[in-house]
Structure 1
Amino acid sequence: MNETVRRIIGPTILLFGGTYFDFEAPDNSAFTIEDVAHGLAMTCRFAGQCYRHYSVAQHSVHISRIVPPEHAYQGLMHDASEFAVGDMAKPLKVMLPDYTVIEKRVEAAVFRRFNVPTPLPPTIKEADIRMLATEQRQLMRNRDEWHYTHGREPLDFKLPAWTPEEAKAQFLKRFAQLSNGAA
């Protein structure tokens, strides 16, 4: 069987830029920061179950702005693997351990490609949880206390309504500000 054909019909996805992303060998895939930004901007958080489209790209830009400046780049890139694997709802993710293995493989490849220092500092996780509390308050109908955000206060700022195009542009702009040539 032709190797190119196997990869196209195998565990691959076609990226925005026209190349294929291989889930078995993500380091060998020709993905760019534009592919990452596009995928994140088109991916709605909360499985799309919020008032309006709110993308992973927008979430990531906000995280990069609320963490200490020395962690801003890691904050921007913390969910970058979701450009390929999507933003799976946490309750479903915990039921699918194989998904987590794939997600971690993709994350490692993305972090290597864009020189994201690892491990991520605890400030990223804390900012992510506070942002989740903020997003729940502003984007969801339900005000139940979620176990994951227990004891965390939402941040005191209004989440603007960005289109996917604006989220992509803002993500790329922030990447250019923070990356120091990591692309």
Structure 2
Amino acid sequence: MSAHRPDILLRSGNFFNFLSPETSIITIEDIASGLANEARFNGQTLSFYSVAQHSVLVSLIVPPELAMVGLLHDCSEAVMKDLPKPLKRLLPDYQVLEQAIEAAILGRFGITLPLDPAIKAADLILLATEKRDLMPPHHYQEWPGVEPLAQVIVPMQPVEAYSYFMDRYHQLMAYHGAPQH
């Protein structure tokens, strides 16, 4: 066995192959686990805050028919990490790989790219809210006209964020009656 395999072992025991994401088997539990243990903002928040919790919050503020897309919009980060946007912009090859992995994972859930613009709008609202609630005081506003949510985000630990994500997934599956993956 080569020391340079292009895959990683997932929580489910399956392997995820970065060079062949469309043939990899990834479960919703794998996604929830990866996102629950992945810190937003490269961990540079005042306390731990996961991509899983962020994803649930996005799913709660988009129109109901986009809730599953909102929940899964950062699915590639379950296997690739959540790189800070300024760093990601410097890595075009990473961005290409991320898009391929995102398309493969979303495709397993019947979601195609590009995502509805409402997802990006919700993501920006959450970003403004997260920067207000979870980052040190600052005066930088990237998105004029984007108002944060009224509610204050209370960060969850990974085990809570995993359950929060899975509960939201099952709630949406029950509501939409789609096949479970």
Shorter-chain-normalised TM-score: which range?
over 0.9
Q: How many angstroms apart in 2 are the aligned matches of 1:81 and 1:146?
A: 27
Q: CA–CA distance in 1 between the matches of 2:81 and 2:103?
A: 15
Match of 2:7 among 8, 12, 22: 12
- Structure 1 stretches lacking a partner, 5+ long: none
Establish whether residue 158 from structure 1 lines up as the match of residue 145 from structure 2: no
What SS class does the counterpart of residue 13 from structure 1 fall into?
A: strand
8 A Cα contact 1:74 1:117, kept in partner: no
In 2, distance between residues paired with 1:166 and 1:172? 10
Q: Of 91, 94, 100, which aligns to 2:95?
A: 100
In 2: Cα distance, 1:143 partner to 1:133 partner? 12
Residue in 2 aligned with 1:167?
161
Q: Which amino acid aligns with 1:30?
A: I
Q: Deviations over 1:67-115 (max 9, x none)?
A: 1111111111110111011100000000000000000010011111122
Alpha-carbon distance, 1:117 to partner = 4.3
1:117-150 deviations in Å (ceiling 9; x for gaps): 4431111100100100000000000422243x23
Aligned positions, number: 177
Query: Which residue type is aligned with residue 158 of structure 2?
Result: P
- Give yes or no for contact 1:12–1:22 (8 Å, CA) kept in 2: yes
Q: TM-score, normalised by structure 2?
A: 0.92
Deviations 1:29-59 (A, max 9, x none): 1211100000000000000000111000000
C-alpha change, 1:177 and 1:118, in structure 2 (3 Å) is farther
1:130 aligns with 2:125: yes
Listed one character per residue, the Cα deviations across residues 140-162 of structure 1 (whole Å, up to 9, x for unaligned) are 00422243x23211111011221
Question: Could you tell me which of 34, 38, 42 is aligned with 1:43?
Answer: 38
Identity of aligned residues (%): 47
What amino acid sits opposite 2:43 in the alignment?
Answer: G
Q: Is the 8 A contact 1:115 1:182 kept in 2?
A: no
Match of 1:73 among 68, 75, 86: 68
Distance 1:166 1:21 in 2: 25
Which letter does structure 2 place at the counterpart of 1:178? L
RMSD over aligned CA atoms reads 1.4
**Alpha carbons 1:77, 1:116 under 8 Å: kept:** no
Shift of 1:182: 4.0
| Partner residue of 2:179 out of 166, 170, 181 | 181
